[in-house]
Amino acid sequence: MNFLEQLSQKVLRVNQSITDWLPGKEVHPARLHEAIMYSIDAGGKRLRPVLLMAAYDLFSSDRDPLPAALAIELIHTYSLIHDDLPAMDDSDIRRGQPSSHKHFDEATAILAGDALQPMAFEILAKGYAEDPKLTVDLVRMLAETAGSQMLVGGQMQDLLSEGMEPDEGNLQYIHANKTAAMIRAALQMGFRLGNRGGDDELLHAMGEAGLSLGMAFQAVDDLLDVTGTSEQLGKDAAHDADSGKVTWVRLIGEKKARELAAKHTEDAIEEIKRVGGENAFLLELVKRMLDRTN
């Protein structure tokens, strides 16, 4: 199977797991479940679950990576729904369609995001029930990542920094926590599920790879905000620039932001190679993330 076939097979498996694990949109209260499915089914790239599965493939085991892959996508989707709210980034378009609060209403969008969070942990608890130590590790990894010192902390600092003079240390903090932490968790959770998952040194190396990859992803995101069209991106282009966000492009310019993305990508590749295993798909994915157009 070539790279694109492997990629679409992984995305397909994640999408099928949604039907296996999530309440259907007809389940009472239907408006809430409809809102959850509206955002989940909107055709995101499924990058984090695919990264998780690719990290699992390095040293695969008899465990199923799908519950963990789905759990991280649910946390990511909640964060996008809440990020789009008027009180936060105030974005009307997400994943190529009206954002949740535009299609439904603010209260429904807040509640859909709220419901997605415990749902992620419920799936981890049920999906790995036969291995309590593994479950606790995965729950801890995802909870720490989604918590006040990573995802939510990064978002808080991002909001506090709007309209401020760009500051490199602050930008590093925001991007490491708002964006890179979830990518690191995807690689570490996937690795933890494989048969070398108990090797702390390799787990740490996967974390370093994830952090570099996440920083590269955010630098590319900043570049796409100024070079991409809204149609390509499935969200408002130039939204960050227009709302006075601190971005790499604003801080160091387009050329250097591109160089930074390439450097972080090289660092990620080096760490992944150090970990070893069946890494052809993961390495190709990491390289292609640098050239993505959405």
Site residues, ligand GRG (CB under 6 A): 44-45, 47, 76, 79-80, 82-83, 95, 151-152, 155, 178-179, 218, 221
Backbone dihedral region for residue 43 (phi beyond 0: left; psi -120 to 50: alpha; all else: beta) = left
Cis upstream peptide for 29 (omega within 30°): yes
170 burial (CB, 10 Å; 0-12 / 13-18 / 19+) is: middle
Half-sphere exposure of 14 (CA within 13 A, CB side): 27
The residues, ordered by sequence, that sit 6+ positions from 45 with a Cβ below 8 Å of its Cβ are: 294
Min separation Cβ 263 and ligand GRG, Å = 18
Compare residues 151 and 215 and give the one whose CB is closer to ligand GRG. 151
DSSP symbols for 23-39: PPTTSSSHHHHHHHHHH
Work out how close the CB of 48 gets to ligand GRG at its nearest, in angstroms, rounded to a whole number: 7
**Smallest distance, ligand GRG to C-beta of residue 165, A:** 21
Of 79 and 188, CB closest to ligand GRG? 79
* Residue closer to ligand GRG, measured from CB, 110 or 283: 110
* CA–CA distance, 245 with 83 (Å, rounded to integer): 14
From CA 269, how far away is CA 208, in angstroms rounded?
A: 10
- Shortest Cβ distance from residue 195 to ligand GRG (Å)? 28
Q: Which residue is nearest to ligand GRG (CB)?
A: 44
Nearer residue to ligand GRG within complex by CB, 74 or 203: 74
State in angstroms the smallest separation of the CB of 2 from ligand GRG.
22
Which residue lies nearer to ligand GRG by CB, 32 or 116?
116
